[in-house]
Amino acid sequence: MTMRINKRGRAWTLAVFVLVVFGALIAFYRTPDDSFADSKSGLRDKVLPGELDDYYGFFSGGHSGEIRIVGIPSMRVMKRVPVFNLDSGSGWGITNESKALLKGQVVGDTHHVQGSYVDGTYDGKFLWVNDKSNNKLARIRTDYMEVDAIVEIPNSQGTHGTFPQRYPQTDWIITNSEFRTPYATDLAGMSDKANFHGVHTITDAHKMEVIAQVTTSVNLDLAATGYRGKYSFATSYNSEGGVTLSEMLAKDSDYLVVFNWDRIKKRLADGNFETVNGVKMMDGKAGSDLTLYIPVPKNPHGVNISPDGKYAIASGKVSPTATVVALDKLDDAFAGKIQPIDCVVAQPEIGLGPLHTTYDGNGNAFTSLFIDSQIVKWNIQAAIDGYKKPGAKSPVIDRLDVHYQVGHTMASMAETKEADGNFLISLNKISKDRFLNVGPLKPENDQLVDISQKKMRLIKDEPSYIEPHDCIIVRRDIIEPLVKDRVKMDEHPNFTTENSIERDGKKVTVRLTANAPVFGIQEVAVKQGDEVTFYVTNNDEIPDLTHGFAISNYNINFVVGPYQTKSVTFVADKPGLYWIYCTNFCHALHLEMRLRFLVEAA
Ligand code: CUK
Ligand code: CUA
Ligand code: CA
């Protein structure tokens, strides 16, 4: 009997021992990305049903042509804002108002969303985003979260990097042309690579008109502006002036190009420029007093300014380094007192495929490593202290595996002087095994990371539709008070509170109110071949009460928000009766909200 109890006791002890050891091993091998537990830092990383997020994330949508508004930390997509694309959900690209901005465009490639600044931080009023495919820049007003202006950037292809002026406020926006092109249109001119140029374009942020362009012989890729309103920046990976991959990789070093705004302004004031295709053009090629060419190792990609305004950090891409440029040396370099290379104050080795750098506001940089699939956290001052000191300690503090192949990374408020070091987004190009298989085209993986502690902690995986390149993370208190529930009704010159049908020859104009659950007119009769314009005003003031307007078989479908007016013009070319109906579920009698459109055969 005693024997058996002892045996049983020993078995229990052994079992408990094995469990403890196992538990300890599991705890030991738990990498930060296994941890979905609550933050130890006190950072709120969960948003429960009914709660609101702390930040607005504005994400570019890549070749979907749109931008997206994402709540952070929940990563919930709140809204897709169509920009350069056609959007059936809102009717962007269908209505006269959006067509006037799009000018026939139905595709776009948005890479970089940026916000408007006052004194080095966001004022929350506007966003800008580039279109790399059709060389345009769009502005979004944040009160309605709609595009209100689009400007074409002439003489530029691969219009890629874009950044607003940060100080004293956003009056200028710069854009870079990644693809060098010639002005010539004859075969000999287009074939001569010596004619190819990059352009750094300055656009008036208020008027949305191009002010001037500075040309370079090298290509210009990512963009940044300083915190003093004096300089803008472009990385160049094609200092070779090559047109093939091998040519563009020939040299070991390319450039960070710096543009001097005081000197550009003086040239404008003096009339010291050429006019090319209607644009004031200045030569900023090597040797020009407008530009400074700082050598950086092999085919650099991103350039980001630290929130204290002291440093520009260019990521090496083909080189495993980040290059730290001290901005307080630029004045001397432009004055010829020091060489461009003397502005480089550190060049730490950080890992393979550095693309973009973001900041926590505490002196640390976080760089995305495309090839290593990591975010690497490193200390800027440590890198400067160890520069060119053999045996110096690595400035790297932490590495976080991300899944997989990260492009941009962005921390909360990191592109402002108010960088707060709370959250970081890793925009990963490949999601591979992280989500259900949905066919050959997989989602991207946008990962949310807690950077409030020494070690980074992965909080969340979020699949996303193609293909956010970049984002900014803006504190809620900056944006939320500006966002409106309804538009100003008289903002549209043809808003209507009355209903009418007018005919002028073959032109028919219908003014139509929409009040849940009725349209103000029940029947509109026209003749085949008439040119018909509908102005539709939503007269409901209740927030969120949106009406739709679709004409059966006429390829017309759009929505109008509270107090909003939109219009559409088309030729009534198909005879018959076509029901016009509300597409947006607005009322218990939403389905009954419709009218007859009669087209009498010619
Ligand atoms: S580029 Cu895409 S990952 Cu267009 Cu900002 Cu670097
Ligand atoms: Cu109006 Cu549905
Ligand atoms: Ca190169």
Q: Which residues surround ligand 3, an ion (CB under 5 A)?
A: 237, 248, 254, 299
Ligand with an atom nearest the CA of residue 407: 1
Q: Is residue 37 scored above 50 in pLDDT?
A: no
CA 373 to chain centre: 21
Q: Is residue 29 scored above 80 in pLDDT?
A: no
C-alpha dihedral, 47 to 51 to 54 to 58, nearest 10°: 80
CA 212 to chain centre: 23
Ligand 3: centre distance to CA 217 (Å): 13
Q: Is residue 6 scored above 80 in pLDDT?
A: no
Confidence of residue 34 (pLDDT cuts 50, 70, 90): very low
pLDDT for 1 equals 38
Q: Is residue 25 scored above 80 in pLDDT?
A: no
Mean pLDDT over 497-513 rounds to 98
182: tokens are 């010639």
Q: Is residue 35 scored above 80 in pLDDT?
A: no
Mean pLDDT over 307-327 rounds to 97
Q: Whose CA is nearest to atom 1 of ligand 2?
A: 547
Please give the number of the atom of ligand 1 that sits closest to the Cα of 470.
5
DSSP string, 578-600: EEEE--S--STTGGG-EEEEEEE
pLDDT for 32 equals 42
Query: Strand 594-600 relative to strand 576-581: parallel, antiparallel, unpaired?
Result: antiparallel
Q: Whose CA is nearest to atom 4 of ligand 1?
A: 111
105: tokens are 């465009």
Q: Is residue 103 scored above 80 in pLDDT?
A: yes
Alpha helices in 37-167 (DSSP H): 96-102
Rounded CA-CA distance 579/16 in Å is 74
Alpha helices in 357-504 (DSSP H): 380-385, 476-479
Residue extents of the structural domains in the chain: 489-600
* Class (C level, CATH) for 489-600: mainly beta
Rounded CA-CA distance 380/34 in Å is 29
Ligand 2: centre distance to CA 68 (Å): 25
Ligand with an atom nearest the CA of residue 515: 2
pLDDT for 12 equals 58
> Exposed, middle or buried: residue 285 (CB in 10 Å: 0-12, 13-18, 19+)?
middle
Q: What is the pLDDT of residues 536-590, one digit of tens each?
A: 999 999 999 999 999 999 999 999 999 999 999 999 999 999 999 999 999 999 9
**CB 595 near ligand 2, within 6 Å:** no
Please give the number of the atom of ligand 2 that sits closest to the Cα of 545.
1
Please give the number of the atom of ligand 1 that sits closest to the Cα of 429.
3
pLDDT for 7 equals 54
Please give the number of the atom of ligand 2 that sits closest to the Cα of 585.
2
**CB 12 near ligand 2, within 6 Å:** no
Q: What is the pLDDT of residues 48-85, one digit of tens each?
A: 999 999 999 999 999 999 999 999 999 999 999 999 99
**How many percent of the chain have pLDDT more than 70?**
93
Ligand with an atom nearest the CA of residue 588: 2
Q: Is residue 33 scored above 70 in pLDDT?
A: no
Ligand 2: centre distance to CA 584 (Å): 5
Confidence of residue 257 (pLDDT cuts 50, 70, 90): very high
DSSP string, 87-116: BTTTTBTTSHHHHHHHTT-----B--EEEE
Q: Is residue 155 scored above 70 in pLDDT?
A: yes
Query: Strand 523-527 relative to strand 594-600: parallel, antiparallel, unpaired?
Result: parallel
Please give the number of the atom of ligand 1 that sits closest to the Cα of 427.
3
User: Pocket residues for ligand 1 (CB within 6 Å)?
Assistant: 111-112, 160, 222, 301-302, 355-356, 407-408, 469-470
CA 429 to chain centre: 15
Please give the number of the atom of ligand 2 that sits closest to the Cα of 583.
2
Tell me which of 30-44, 287-301, 355-369, 546-560 is least confident. 30-44
User: Is the distance from CB of 449 to CB of 427 less than 8 angstroms?
Assistant: no
DSSP 321: B
Question: What is the model's pTM?
Answer: 0.92
Tell me which of 91-95, 190-194, 227-231, 435-439 is least confident. 190-194
Contacts of 35 (CB under 8 A, 6+ apart): 457, 458
The position carrying tokens 């079992």 is 15
Write down the mean pLDDT value for the chain.
Answer: 94
Phi/psi at 514 (5° precision)? -125, 115
**CB 513 near ligand 2, within 6 Å:** no
- Mutate which of 444, 469, 471 for ligand 1? The one with the most ligand atoms within 8 Å of its CB, which is 469
**CB 301 near ligand 2, within 6 Å:** no
User: Is the distance from CB of 176 to CB of 162 less than 8 angstroms?
Assistant: yes
Ligand 2: centre distance to CA 540 (Å): 11
Is residue 324 within a helix (H) or strand (E), and if so which, with residue range? Answer: strand 322-326
pLDDT for 42 equals 78
Residue 427, CA distances (Å) to 61, 412, 444, 449, 584 in order: 11, 14, 8, 11, 33
**CB 584 near ligand 2, within 6 Å:** yes
Q: Whose CA is nearest to atom 2 of ligand 1?
A: 469
